[in-house]
Structure 1
């Protein structure tokens, strides 16, 4: 299926951002600490994901028709960054929402 990995990766980012803006409204995306956290996550993601997806000796392979083919740095498919962003952001948003709920009920 063309774009079989790209479309869900983009959709995941859109769903997570929409959930924050329209439903959760935690304010997390406006906090500098969130962006520092994402920079730290990316700093660890690059060497690990780069090692797993390097074209010279891949451990993880992607069907060429399922991705855009855009890779950076160290051959990491751009879709991996999108999924990573969506996953980490979703967890942080739910964590923050839970903390706010506990504070409100106390």
Structure 2
């Protein structure tokens, strides 16, 4: 089952996080320029670090090729790593914003 080991959970994590925002949390985070700027900042750090860790010429982190799609973008980073990164950062920010709203705080 090529691609299911890491790819399927990565794609599902994005779907779950986006669905949670649109259906349950409704924080409006995706409409905020500050959110998208924060995602650019995350990418600015993720690309060099993840690229160094996963470069095919001398990987520090090795993935089973059967668990990936094989799509690698800058510096041999598996596309799945970007999906997980999006999900983890976005879920954290969503829950932070949702909790602030429940406590009556302005964000």
TM-score bracket for the superposition, by shorter chain length: over 0.9
Partner of 1:47: 48
State the Cα deviation string for residues 37-57 of structure 1 (Å, max 9, x = none): 000000000000000000010
Instruction: Provide the secondary structure at the position in 2 that maps to 1:103.
Output: coil
Give the corresponding residue for 1:21.
Answer: 22
Aligned alpha-carbon RMSD (Å): 0.9
Deviations 1:7-54 (A, max 9, x none): 000000000000000000000011000000000000000000000000
Aligned to 2:80: 79
Question: TM-score, normalized by length of structure 2?
Answer: 0.95
Which residue matches 1:37? 38
4+ runs deviating over 4 angstroms: none
The two structures have a TM-score, normalised by structure 1, of 0.95
- Structure 2, unmatched stretches of 5+, are none
- Residue in structure 2 matched with residue 92 of structure 1 by the alignment: 93
